Amino acid sequence: MSSDYHKDLARWMPLLVKVWRSRGAKNQKRPRYEEDEDDGTLTPHEQKQVAQGVRTLSLGLTRDRQLAGAKYMDDPALLGAYLLFYWPVSYAQARQALGELPRPREVLDLGSGPGPMSFAALDAGAAAVTSADRSKAALDLAKALATEATEPIATREWSPERPLPDGQFDLVLMGHVINELFHDGKEVTPAVLDKRAALLEGVLAKVKPRGSLLILEPALRDTSRALLQLRDRMVTRGYAVRAPCLFRGNCPALVKESDWCHAERDWRMPPTVEAIARLAGIHKESLKMSYLALAPKGEAWAEPPEGRLFRIVSEPLEGKGRLRFMGCGPEGRVGLAMQEKHQTEANKVFFKLPRGAVVKLDLTEPRGDGLALDDRSTVQVIAWPGQPLPPKS
């Protein structure tokens, strides 16, 4: 489901530019551009203009966090910067995560902004999407994009203080929303986590049987650890995790303060996004995110395939003559290491594993704080990043 999204994203870039220009002409008294200029590229002046807004968003959302929880999408310049830079990034993140879940039919996107995750769900096979956000300006952009693309979305105004939209849904999306809720710019307290968990319980009541709530968050240490803490609260309350976790207890990445867990995926950055990133001084060569998919109350954890399974949750950790990863599976978070001299046809894929892959290991030995593989070991990829786990046979 996620492997072909680059073509879909390329289709969106000209529409994003067209809508941005039309709104700029309307709201900022800028001259209109000719129709044939809306090809997904920006002039050098426009690139600098957008990059300035992106720098402001990056500082306020990922560094000093001053914009977290603020109504930044009501600022035309910041909303435009979001549309041309963070929209494609969020779209790509959503397509990757959606690839691990069943195809939904009816979708609710809470805190949708101008709809990157909404349109990602439609492109992933959804039949109908409701985009809900507190910013009327952001919803207007989502409607403008839907008109340009002739895509079926409905919009609703929503904030955590208002009732959830009516209906039941196969999938509820919350993209880069949770970390901004009940946020006062300080450390996330247990009281804040309890408020977020209560909100999620209400949201999960809107999810149909066999459906999911999918949460995407920034891959920052603090926001990722806060999501893992929220995960533990939901698991304690009886909710099962659909993805990415194989471990059913409290998250082992929270044991050490220095640890956290996030995903990283390769992607082909659209040229417009690449140009803006370069001018803004932001590195986006890979997609980084933290994500969590929860099942509605009463549904059991999915039974994974037989065997000793681990999801790769680190980058390759290279040493002299050996390679090491951190894996997380039903038995917890474990170091996995193999010396290059032990490479065979049955285990050579170990040296090319991407973060997020799920592997089945045989014939390993306990060694130090993890498992050692040798020339007797076998390594089989059960699921690549962005793919669902096969059911238990």
pLDDT above 70 (res 30): no
Please name each of the domains of the chain with its CATH number: 5-294 (3.40.50.150), 308-383 (2.40.50.140)
- First-to-last alpha carbon distance for the chain, in angstroms, is 22
- Mean pLDDT, to the nearest integer, of 263-283? 89
pLDDT above 50 (res 31): no
Band of pLDDT at residue 66, cut at 50, 70 and 90: low
Task: Report the distance separating Cα 353 and Cα 270, nearest Å.
Answer: 25
pLDDT above 80 (res 40): no
Instruction: Tell me how far CA of residue 39 lies from CA of 86, 276, 304, in angstroms.
Output: 19, 16, 45
| pTM for the whole structure | 0.91
Q: What's the pLDDT score for residue 62? A: 64
Dihedral sign computed on CA atoms, order 301, 304, 307, 311: negative
pLDDT above 60 (res 68): no
Element holding 99 (H helix, E strand)? none
Q: What's the pLDDT score for residue 104? A: 94
- Mean pLDDT, to the nearest integer, of 260-280? 90
Q: What is the pLDDT of residues 368-391, one digit of tens each?
A: 879 999 999 999 999 999 999 998
pLDDT above 80 (res 25): no
The alpha carbon torsion through 312, 315, 319, 321 (nearest 10 deg) reads 60
